[in-house]
Structure 1
Amino acid sequence: MLKIMAFGLNYAELLTRNGESPDVRFPRVIGIEAVGTVYDTKAGSGFRVGQTVMTLMGGLGREFDGSYEEYALIPNHQLYPLPIKDSWTQLATIPESFYTAYGSLNRLRLSTGAHLLIRGGTSNAGIAALLLAKAMGYTVSTTSRDSGKLQTLQDLGADETLLDQGSLDTTISFDGILELVGTTTLRDSLQQLATTGTAVVTGGLGGAWSLPDFSPFEVPGYLTNFQSTNVDAQLLSQAIALIKNHHLQLPIAQTFELANIAQAHQAMINSHKIGKIVVIANHE
């Protein structure tokens, strides 16, 4: 059993709450990630009571009850050690955002010094990708539709920021492109890809999941995708090592107590702040 200490909010949970996840059967406690401690476990599980762990995806909050509670029954194979000392609030920013970002970067198979474009740079996965990519030695260009957020991206380490107006004003041919906006900007992103480069589609921030009349011959280099649905423990461990060794921290937009989860969801809808919204469990 996991004693949940904190969790980050994700747009996917809004969709589920609104009935837009057809595979989810209600009643269901939603929430796709959490950090906390092992409250109880069977002998031989590989975990000890009180150990700091995290969980994410793999059916959490969809096939079985998720993180919007104080305690949760989690399969042992979906608990992952979290050997980083930090506040629960900061630890809660790690699971989904950093795993998604690292898994996507891993698909690009870039070398040190490669030039990466992050399309959708102010999303939590985009910011996590920026932090990880700089730690991995890449040159990073990143985008925002809001000119007022470009300076924040520079402060977080971006080598170049680009205003995204549906198309990008750049002459660079990128070695790798992380497409988080999705199919609404994919064609334009591919125009910026080097003939030996790779683009990975990870997100759908643009609200569309398919591209009409798309031809594979539009791809100048290579095109792939990444999904965090089923967690690769080795990839997650590699991401945690980078976070720990480089002291990476995702900005926190707001924090709420679990009792105020409705207000937290409203903030997720209305907030324009960069960073993760985190909920703290109400343990007495």
Structure 2
Amino acid sequence: MLAMVLNLPGDEHTFHAEERAIPVSTSTDSVLKIMAFGLNYAELLTRNGESPDVKFPRVIGIEAVGTVSDTATDSGFHVGQTVMTLMGGLGREFDGSYEEYALIPNHQLYPLSIKDSWAQLATIPESFYTAYGSLKRLRLSTGAHLLIRGGTSNAGIAALLLAKTMGYTVSTTSRNSDKLTTLQKLGADETLLDRGSLETTTSFDGILELVGTSTLRDSLQHLATTGTVVVTGGLGGEWSLPDFSPFEVPGYLTNFQSTNVNARLLSQAVALIKDHRLQLPIAQTFELTDITQAHQAMINSHKIGKIVVIANHD
């Protein structure tokens, strides 16, 4: 089987194509035949060597969709079953999705009952789980007014799609005025241009903060006194807020991380996607052998949507 391996951290040209034996299932792990996966900014950081807990050589990649290729009889899965996997050490503590087959702990395989192309299915795991988990942390009621800060990110778009099915009024942001029309077409009730501060007098019931600490103080200025901000992302590249006081929070402040997956939340998200036929836009698709170009696109592309890699299994 083909694996795109990082022997050492480096730029997008560092990946090494390697032929490996297909793994064999164990009493605790099943073999996933990877059909497709989405790219994530976290993988770029790992590739650059900015994930100090990752040991090299490593096959990176934190999510994948495919079919069960080999499994123990008591794993709860059957050969040929469509499944997905994400996080939980995938691509960091053990080899991840940048390969044709992967050995995955059974408790980190999740059934995927949606019928669609592999490319479209690949947009689901990380983006929709992160979005749904964040929305649930907000504890909003039907009719609540939600602000998504960082709305053109994949998690931001997934949150918009999910939030509309949950009955929320949604305002969402972009730093690029050209992308606001696309957000409106995806269902946003209001779009706001983000120049680091938002020109709005609205006090929101909930704010999904995907830009991070670089805009958090401004987001708090637009939070209702009974509202909640969930910090989920760090698109602004900053991870801490100097001289921050809890007395700056008018309502509630919390966070969501997808590191350890809650299977119940993931199942609920998949049910909404299936029932409402939600689809995250796909920006570009690449083959596994073109992972260098896929990473270049992740850095340089300005298209809205997920970059997806397909494993063709020739």
Match of 1:257 in 2: 287
1:245-278, Cα deviation, whole Å (9 max, x unpaired): 0000000000000010100000000000000000
Q: Pick from 97, 101, 119 the counterpart of residue 127 of structure 2.
A: 97
Distance, in Å, in 2 between the alignment partners of 1:218 and 1:247 is: 40
Aligned to 1:273: 303
Structure 2 residue identity aligned to 1:223: L
Report the CA distance between 1:282 and its aligned residue. 2.6
Residue 77 (str. 1) matches residue 107 (str. 2): yes
CA distance in structure 2 between the partners assigned to 1:138 and 1:123 by the alignment: 19
Q: What residue in structure 2 maps to residue 226 of structure 1? A: 256
TM-score, normalized by length of structure 2? Answer: 0.90
5+ residue gaps in structure 2? 1-30
The residue number in structure 1 matching 2:229 is 199
Aligned to 1:185: 215
Residue 110 of structure 1: SS of its match in structure 2? coil
State the partner residue of 2:75. Answer: 45
1:133 and 2:202 correspond: no
Partner of 2:55 in structure 1? 25
User: Partner of 2:117 in structure 1?
Assistant: 87
Structure 1 residue 173 and structure 2 residue 203: aligned?
Answer: yes
Q: How far has the Cα of 1:44 moved from its partner?
A: 1.0
Structure index of larger Rg: 2
- 1:36 counterpart letter in structure 2: G
User: Shift in Å at residue 188 of structure 1?
Assistant: 0.1
Q: Distance in 2 between matches of 1:196 and 1:261?
A: 46
Q: Which residue in 1 is equivalent to 2:23? A: none
Mapped pair 1:13 → 2:43:
yes
Q: Residue 278 of structure 2 is aligned with which of 245, 248, 252? A: 248
Q: Take 1:105 and 1:94, find their aligned partners in 2: how far apart are those partners?
A: 16
The match for 1:157 is: 187
Structure 2: distance between partners of 1:30 and 1:166: 33
How far, CA to CA, are the matches of 1:14 and 1:108 in structure 2? 29
**Match of 1:212?**
242
3-state SS of 2:104 partner = coil
Partners in 2 of 1:141 and 1:204 — Cα distance?
A: 19
Using the TM superposition, give the Cα deviation of residue 228 of structure 1 relative to its aligned residue in structure 2, in angstroms. 0.2
Report the aligned-residue RMSD: 0.3
Letter in 1 for 2:140: L
2:156 alignment partner AA? G
Distance in 2 between residues matched to 1:109 and 1:243, nearest whole Å: 20
**Matched residue type, 1:131:** L
Q: Which runs of 4+ in 1 moved over 2 A?
A: none
Paired residue type of 1:278? V
Residue 138 (structure 2) aligns with: 108
Shift in Å, 1:77? 0.2
Please, what TM-score do these two structures have when normalized by structure 1?
1.00
Question: Partner letter of residue 220 of structure 1?
Answer: P
Residue 34 (structure 1) aligned with residue 64 (structure 2) = yes
Residues in 1 aligned to 2:304 and 2:59: alpha-carbon distance in whole angstroms: 27
**Which residue number corresponds to residue 22 of structure 2?**
none
Match of 1:223, SS?
strand
Letter in 2 for 1:210: S
C-alpha distance after superposition, 1:133-164 (max 9, x if no partner): 00100000000000000000000000000000
**Separation in 2 of the partners of 1:2 and 1:62?**
17
Partners in 2 of 1:256 and 1:23 — Cα distance?
28
- SS of the residue 1:28 aligns to: coil
Distance 1:269 1:30 in 2: 17
Count residues in correspondence.
Answer: 284
Shift of 1:51: 0.3
Q: Deviations over 1:221-263 (max 9, x none)?
A: 0000000000000000000000000000000000000010100
Secondary structure of the corresponding residue to residue 205 of structure 2: strand
Alignment check: 8 A CA contact 1:259 1:282 kept: no
